[in-house]
Chain A
Amino acid sequence: MHGVTHHNEGDDARMDVTLQSSRFGEITVSPDAIIDFPSGLIGLGGHRFALLARSEESAFAWLHSLDDPELAIPVTDPWRFFDDYEIEISDEEADRIGVTDPQDTSVYVTVRAAAALEDFSANLRAPILVVGGTGHQVINQVPDAPVRAPMFTGLQETPTKAA
């Protein structure tokens, strides 16, 4: 497991963080891979996380708390699975979390993993936006963005459109 690097200028003095993950054993995260979540994840808290993945190309990563060794959530790039995914947040919310340019923003969605791929789902309602080493889980204002969107429906038979 390697922490995916996020550049966070001016914080070189910070130390590596080592913790005993309940899932992965001892993990060490370099300071520039730490993502600060000022408000934590919704309902879960946690204020420092890191993305752990086997490689930069991995479809999934674990967003692992550095404060709670038992807290880790699978995440993915939503556009890898949902071509037409859209996120809409109010200007006030964008200002609150410091998003000025979508190009500078990394987007992840949480994943409910399962034994079978068909049962994997992603939360398109509450994406995680990371800007400049700071993360916020926000509420997507696009109407009816699902909390549990099946990720591998494409594997099943293509439904025939009703006439």
Chain B
Amino acid sequence: MSVLVVDDETDLREAICTLLESAGHTALAASNGREALERLRTAGAPCVILLDLSMPVMDGWEFRRVQLDDRELAAIPVIVITADGNAPEKAGRLAAHGFLKKPFLPDELIRTVAKFCSRGGQPA
């Protein structure tokens, strides 16, 4: 199964995808909430979503609300990635499954994702 990376910062999004793929995951990228929803409907459910909060078109908060309202999508775990302070508090409010504070170390990312996805796209 894949990992969906939702972030409007292209460089960061692509670096994360590259890192994930180098760790053996399949990475799907979306630059905002709406794109992420389209990806989910076309590509099927990933094992985890890495979700930025501040994004144009549809931000992370809106995306999470829509996701939770959608019975098919609601169960997909979400890791909040944010540059804001109070990442733990925000993650709690979004009922997310974890958080990564930007800038995070490659190992942190790999360790966190590994909790939800087995290598080769299988759940751990």
On whether the two chains bind one another, the answer is no
